[in-house]
Chains A and B, each alone.
Chain A
Amino acid sequence: MSPLSETGILGPAGVLLTAPLIGFAFGWFLERGGLGDARKLAGQFYFTDLTVFKVLFSALLTAMLGAFWLDRFGLLDLELVYLPETFVLPQAAGGVLFGAGFLVGGLCPGTSCVAAAAGRIDGLGIIGGMLLGVAGFNAAFDWIAPFYDSTALGAVTFTDMAGISRGAGVALVTAIALAGFAVASRLERQRP
């Protein structure tokens, strides 16, 4: 029965050992998917290279379908899987900031580590900027805190909010992703 970290099968030492393994695997697949290249990533915003969209949505679909069916067959208890809380406005602002940084630097936090590990200078630069940002956020936290905690909705899922079943949500997201893949392929063919 999983999640192995929550049901105690792995134990604290097991969790600590597994985390870097998953991290390395994540980085390796990002690099193999071509996501260590800032030009490739920035191409996302000009619709010339939609690799990011395709890689991340493939991962999302695999995880979503896997989690749904493992839960259904009693191999995973979705109730034990950590669900981050929603804060509408601060998370929307964070998303905009993240996107702007992504566009300017050409890399996101995960891919900047991948780029740095692959020996790219720009990756190291982005990691430095990210650490500066973290320090700045902490220094200014008292001032940001009221906004940071505003518009809280708690741990909600879009299926609960829409009043539809999890299964219907899975089908909807899959349909959107598959349609997205088809459109992405077409756009890439038009703009080589």
Chain B
Amino acid sequence: MIPVHRALATLAATLALAAALVDARPAIDAATLAAEIEQDRDHISAPELAERIMRRDPDLRLFDLRSREDYEAFHIPSASHATLDELARTTFPRQASIVLYSEGSAHAAQAWVLLRLRGVRKVYFLREGVYEWIARVREPRLAVDATPGERAEFERAVALSRFFGGMARTSVPRSEVPDGYWTGTASRDVPSRAAQAIANVRRRGC
């Protein structure tokens, strides 16, 4: 073999080996992400998040993706403010469990995709954003005609609400209990309801 060829082959082999070493993790394909979304593995419920905050889960990293002003006005305890750009550049420890929330779910869902594509494994978001936190953790409501299932869930919610300085309310008219409240299923006009809910929190001044 001609010395130049030998040198070029060695250079190619070195560069290729280095490529495999610096980029060892396979890219996450769209099908994997689609399956995670289909199987509801992309989100966490507000009560589940509350319980993790209560037991001071060391791996939990909570990010508020709303504007800085909204964050200053109200945020979930232990949450840090972050923009999508900051999230895209932050590096997380391997075992970190990241929870994202925004006004509704769109922004947080975009951030979820972004972090999953970067190879961060444990990423979740609140499906109904900050509103879900207020409705299900801070100010849970029990309808006058509540079912036994709702009553059982409410007891758990009262404990959480007390811990986070909220106020649970019982015997409210069914019309004041929002759609999908206990099930956590997505509902419409979340951003406007979130703004209303935050305004109410502040008005009470606690």
Q: Which B-chain residue is minimally distant from A69 (CB atoms)? A: B15
B206 interfacial contact with A, CB 8 Å:
no
A164 to B13, CA, bound (A): 19
A61 to B5, CA, bound (A): 13
Q: In the complex, which of the residues B5, B12, B24, B29 contacts A168, with contact meaning CB atoms closer than 8 Å? A: B24
Q: In the complex, what's the smallest C-beta–C-beta distance from B164 to chain A, in angstroms?
A: 42
A20 interfacial contact with B, CB 8 Å:
no
The SS class assigned to the A binding surface is helix
Residues in A whose Cβ lies below 8 Å from that of B24: 165, 167-168
Residues in A whose Cβ lies below 8 Å from that of B26: 159, 163-165, 168
Q: Are A65 and B16 in contact (CB under 8 A)?
A: yes
B144 interfacial contact with A, CB 8 Å:
no
B17 interfacial contact with A, CB 8 Å:
yes
Q: Are A178 and B13 in contact (CB under 8 A)?
A: yes
Q: Are A175 and B16 in contact (CB under 8 A)?
A: yes
Q: Mark B9-25, 1 if CB is under 8 A from A, else 0.
A: 10011011101111111
Q: Are B19 and A61 in contact (CB under 8 A)?
A: no
Q: Are A166 and B16 in contact (CB under 8 A)?
A: no
Given known A-B contacts A65-B15, A69-B15, A174-B12, A167 and B20 have beta carbons under 8 A apart: yes
Q: Are B13 and A166 in contact (CB under 8 A)?
A: no
A185 interfacial contact with B, CB 8 Å:
yes
Q: In the complex, which of the residues B1, B19, B29 contacts A170, with contact meaning CB atoms closer than 8 Å? A: B19
Complex A-B: 12 CB contacts under 8 Å: A69-B15, A72-B19, A72-B23, A165-B20, A165-B24, A166-B23, A167-B21, A167-B22, A173-B16, A175-B16, A177-B12, A178-B13
Q: Are B16 and A181 in contact (CB under 8 A)?
A: no
Q: Are A171 and B29 in contact (CB under 8 A)?
A: no
Residues in A whose Cβ lies below 8 Å from that of B29: 160, 163
A69 to B25, CA, bound (A): 16
Q: Are B27 and A171 in contact (CB under 8 A)?
A: no
Contacts A68-B19, A167-B23, A174-B15 known; list 7 others, CB within 8 Å. A68-B23, A165-B24, A167-B20, A170-B16, A170-B23, A175-B13, A181-B5
Q: Which B-chain residue is minimally distant from A157 (CB atoms)? A: B27
Residues in B whose Cβ lies below 8 Å from that of A159: 26-27
Top 9 nearest A-B pairs (CB, nearest first) are A167-B23, A174-B16, A171-B20, A170-B19, A167-B19, A171-B16, A167-B20, A65-B15, A165-B23
Q: Are A165 and B27 in contact (CB under 8 A)?
A: yes
Q: In the complex, what's the smallest C-beta–C-beta distance from A165 to chain B, in angstroms?
A: 5
Q: Which A-chain residue is minimally distant from B119 (CB atoms)? A: A165
Residues in A whose Cβ lies below 8 Å from that of B9: 178, 181
Residues in A whose Cβ lies below 8 Å from that of B21: 167
Q: Which B-chain residue is minimally distant from A66 (CB atoms)? A: B15
Q: Mark B139-153, 1 if CB is under 8 A from A, else 0.
A: 000000000000000
Residues in A whose Cβ lies below 8 Å from that of B27: 159-160, 165-166
Query: In this complex, which of B16, B24, B29 has the most chain A Cβ atoms within 10 angstroms of its Cβ?
Result: B16
